[in-house]
Amino acid sequence: MKSCGGIAVSTILALALGCTDENDGLDASIVDSGVGSDLGVTLDSGPSDLGPSDLGRLDAELTDTLVEDAGAPDSGPPIDSGCVASRTAASPQYLALAEPGRPRSLHAAARLPNGQVLLAGGFSDGLDFDPDVELFDPSTDTTTVGASRPLLQANAVAVPLSDGRVFVSSGPGLPALLYDQTRGWTRTATAPELYLTTFVPLSDNRVLAVGGSDGNGSSDEVHVYDPASDTWSLFLRMLVPRLSPAAVVLDDGRIFVIGGSSAPNMGISTTEFIDVAAATSAPGPMLRVRRISPAAVLLLDRRVLILDGEPLNSLRSEIYDPATGAFEAIPGITPPFKVGAVLVRLCDGRVAQVGGRVGDDPFGDSQAWLFDPAVGRWSPTTATMPTRQSPSATLLLDGRVLVFGGSLLSDPQPRSAYLFVPDVPPR
């Protein structure tokens, strides 16, 4: 599941409980997509699935624990960035789309093999579910409406599969959906009755559903969906029950599960490694602080960057280094805490924090921040956009990032879509 940023867990759960449409009634397994079928070239999808104006602050009280340099280690060949080109600007900037598409928040977004971006589900206005699918075309920077989905849902999550299809969650106890550029939508087997699950794609086309809640407490269950047999099954039980953890697929195929919540609004600092081949879980290193719904990104040098996660504390960001098997604090300034900000790994290996809302100001500007693994530091940029809480942020094949939708504290929700264009990194 994509993290909903800093929204209180109780708030997300309340939204999730109301995310289904009991008047669905559609029995057909295949639904016409209403879009073209140009498959293009199948490429690594890269990260998709997660800042305002002040420059943050030094974590003064933690100065004695900060590492001198969190720069990249020499850890072998870099991981494929998933990009085929790099469109950059002289300085980072947000560009507003002239035709931003429908209002949409808490929706699913995923890059398709042909480079377009699928946008589905979420809230459109107030608590109305959006019935339409949209496709963003980066060759024209336009968004078009396709056919309706078989199910309606908010808090939607999209997971690109290795065969080019996209797995889209449709809520606990409901059929998941598969989207194919040529065949459109397919309804699949009923998912487990768990909320706030974290979905993870596997290299063999299966999808793991990690943790979550049955409404009474956190779950230690990890389920797997196999599209080949259209079945869900219990894969294993984790060492610790977790609701809204982060989960990162490491380059060796293991799943690194980070933090989460074991009780309402109580973060945990434990991690664990899921060995997919052996279907076992082993304890990982301890986070330096407890984190519910942290944002996590696998860097091209194989380290894992962590930012935020409730409850708020002084250590905003840390990094896991597989060479040492431990988390290290990141020195210097970090982005100010933002509700619903998203991390995206860029083509050059840096990580952008985009979107989000600072405090209770729904009308201020949101400033993008960049983390450079080569020097191990966060830095603010001059790129700003109107505040949007929990937009989707999708890396395009040309290196830009589509920042779509998101919500404000007021209704109606705005039509909003921006392109974040990074600069050429200093070296």
Residue 364: CB atoms within 10 Å: 15
Here the contacts of 150-153 (C-beta below 8 Å, separation 24 or greater) are 150/24, 150/26, 150/28, 150/31, 150/175, 150/177, 150/185, 150/187, 151/20, 151/21, 151/24, 151/26, 151/175, 151/177, 151/187, 152/20, 152/21, 152/24, 152/121, 153/19, 153/20, 153/21, 153/121, 153/129
How far, CA to CA in Å, does 67 sit from each of 59, 61, 329?
A: 12, 14, 6
What's the CA gap between 119 and 100, in Å, rounded? 12
Q: Indicate the residue type of 48.
A: S
How far, CA to CA in Å, does 105 sit from each of 122, 130, 146, 305, 320?
A: 5, 9, 18, 25, 31
In this prediction, what percent of the chain has a pLDDT beyond 90?
A: 51
Enclosing H/E stretch for 347: none
Three state DSSP letters for 168-207 = ECCCCCCEEEEEECCCEEEEEEECCCCECCEEEECCCCCE
The 10s digit of each residue's pLDDT in 22-69 is 333 323 222 222 222 232 333 333 333 333 333 333 333 332 333 445
Domain annotation for the chain: domains and CATH numbers: 9-421 (2.120.10.80)
Q: Calculate the average pLDDT of the chain.
A: 80
* pTM score, whole prediction: 0.81
Residue 182: CB atoms within 10 Å: 12
The 10s digit of each residue's pLDDT in 230-265 is 999 999 999 999 999 999 999 899 999 999 998 777
